[in-house]
Chain A
Amino acid sequence: MNLLDRFFGRQPKNTAVEAKDRLKILLAHERVTTNAPDFLPMMKQEILEVIRKYIQIDKDQVKVHMQRQQGVSVLELEVELPQGPSGKNASLSLA
């Protein structure tokens, strides 16, 4: 900070905070895409086929994610079910 900045009470911008925020957003995204194991698309297809034996659903109604957290990997499976008798969309989530 130079003398003039100090005189007018101007604070230098804290760029480190911005660096941290950008990294958090970017890595949350990259961890699910680039680190996904190679078998994920195939597993998704097979899960879809099993569900289709019982319930008619679309391909994009099944979401499979693998996430690394401290020490463990979490497999997240979300299945959106078609309109049930209650008239609302039901969803089945296993994690």
Chain B
Amino acid sequence: MSKVIVVTSGKGGVGKTTSAAAIATGLAMRGHKTVVIDFDVGLRNLDLIMGCERRVVFDFINVINDGVRLNQALIKDKRVENLSILPTSQTKDKEALKQEGVQKVLDELKGEFDYIICDSPAGIERGAMMSLYFADEAIIVTNPEVSSVRDSDRILGILNSKSRRAELGLEAVKQHLLVTRYDAERVNKGEMLKLDDIVEILAIPVLGVIPQCSSVLSASNVGMPVILDEKSKASDAYKDAVSRLLGEEVDLRFLQPEKKSFFERLFRRSA
């Protein structure tokens, strides 16, 4: 049985696309046939993060509206087996994402893939609503920051009332909290909300904590999902999150700052 998982947040720039790319890649590395879809119509960033922007010929919107076959739009990842990308278009027409069209594409993808990861745009407009409507599970990407937590709460409310599962009275969309850009040092100083606070407020199970990490930017520079950067802490954290998504029990890491050497402490500059 294939699963549709939306990566969403309400707030913009919290790490949805980074996380969708990393988790889709991680699932494929674990042997599951996975496709990641860009729902951010008009902006289109997933192809850049996945490093396949020059291979885009047709897209999700062409499949919905222009009779293009799904196989003409799907891009097979060159690094990881079992992984495909369905890019979106830069059209300004927000109505391009028709519900029946989206449903048809998802139904067809279900025949071929185990996991369908939907990268939601920010906000609660059409693209965001379409990306979460058909979801079986949701990964709520949240930064340790008041406005992000508030928007995540709003999205949880929408998942519980406006998703297909809610409307049909089916079992609720399974919700996972993914805290990203976590800076353990600032948390320890009392400058940033800690994981426990966020969990207490949002009251959903934790899928993972991704530390603030410079490797995320470097990976995006070269069009590689950060999970493929073996030396990066963010990669380790995303791998743990993928394991938990697959039902394994893995202890949380990166909740404490790294021990600094004597010299680093001596020359410590304030942030």
Q: Which of A2, A20, A37 has the most CB of B within 10 A?
A: A20
With a cutoff of 8 Å between Cβ atoms, the chain A residues found around residue B191 in the complex are 12, 15-16
A59 within 8 A of B: no
Q: Would you call A23 and B146 a contact (CB within 8 A)?
A: yes
A90 within 8 A of B: no
With a cutoff of 8 Å between Cβ atoms, the chain B residues found around residue A83 in the complex are none
A19 within 8 A of B: yes
Given known contacts A16-B192, A16-B194, A35 and B161 CB-to-CB distance under 8 angstroms: yes
Chain B 200-217, CB-CB to A under 8 Å as 1, else 0, gives 110100000000000000
Near B by CB (< 8 A), chain A positions 79-93 give none
With a cutoff of 8 Å between Cβ atoms, the chain A residues found around residue B160 in the complex are 35, 68, 73
Q: Which of A17, A26, A27, A69 has the most CB of B within 10 A?
A: A27
B150 within 8 A of A: yes
Chain A 38-82, CB-CB to B under 8 Å as 1, else 0, gives 000000000000000000000000000000111101000000000
B157 within 8 A of A: yes
A68 to B189, CA, bound (A): 32
A71 to B174, CA, bound (A): 10
Q: Would you call B161 and A22 a contact (CB within 8 A)?
A: no
Q: Would you call B153 and A16 a contact (CB within 8 A)?
A: no
